[in-house]
Amino acid sequence: MLNEATQNDAVQSDATPTEVVSDCGCESARAKLYEWLRGELCSEESAPIREHLSNCANCQGEKSVCESLTEVVKRVCEDERADCAPADLRDAILRGLQG
Ligand SMILES: [Zn+2]
């Protein structure tokens, strides 16, 4: 009985994964979050970030915010490059100035 108790103690003190999240802390994960989302990190660099995110709910929330921001920025840039509304508007203004 004594043996069982000590074994249980050992298991309990060892198994506290919620306390020890990861070597990569929130700060370093977030510092590289934007770079990672823009695809500027190689898989070696992004691995610890991905690992940290899978353990850290806070950074997961931060990541989805960054993700939607990155998406919006990307879409705006693509729209401008696609020569749609902004170019038409510019032409109209230029014509108005000349005419
Ligand atoms: Zn974190």
88 C-alpha to center of ligand 1: Å? 45
For 44, the domain range is: 22-98
In this prediction the pTM is 0.50
Cβ contact 56:26 at 8 Å = yes
Instruction: Give the C-alpha separation, 47 to 41, whole Å.
Output: 9
37 C-alpha to center of ligand 1: Å? 16
54 C-alpha to center of ligand 1: Å? 9
36 Cβ partners below 8 Å, 6+ apart? Answer: 45, 46, 49
What pLDDT shows up at residue 52?
A: 92
What pLDDT shows up at residue 21?
A: 43
Residue 2 lies in a domain: no
Residue 4 lies in a domain: no
| Mean pLDDT along residues 84-96 | 73
Cβ contact 55:21 at 8 Å = yes
CA distances (Å), origin 39, targets 13, 21, 49? 39, 24, 13
Q: Which of 31, 22, 17, 20 is nearest to 53 (CA)?
A: 22
Residue 92 lies in a domain: yes
Residue 30 lies in a domain: yes
Going by pLDDT thresholds of 50, 70 and 90, the confidence category of residue 10 is: very low
- The model's pLDDT over 27-85, given as tens digits with 9 standing for 90+, comes to 989 989 988 988 899 999 999 999 999 999 999 999 999 888 888 888 887 777 665 55
Total domains in the chain come to 1
Q: Which of 7, 62, 10 is nearest to 31 (CA)?
A: 62
Residue 12 lies in a domain: no
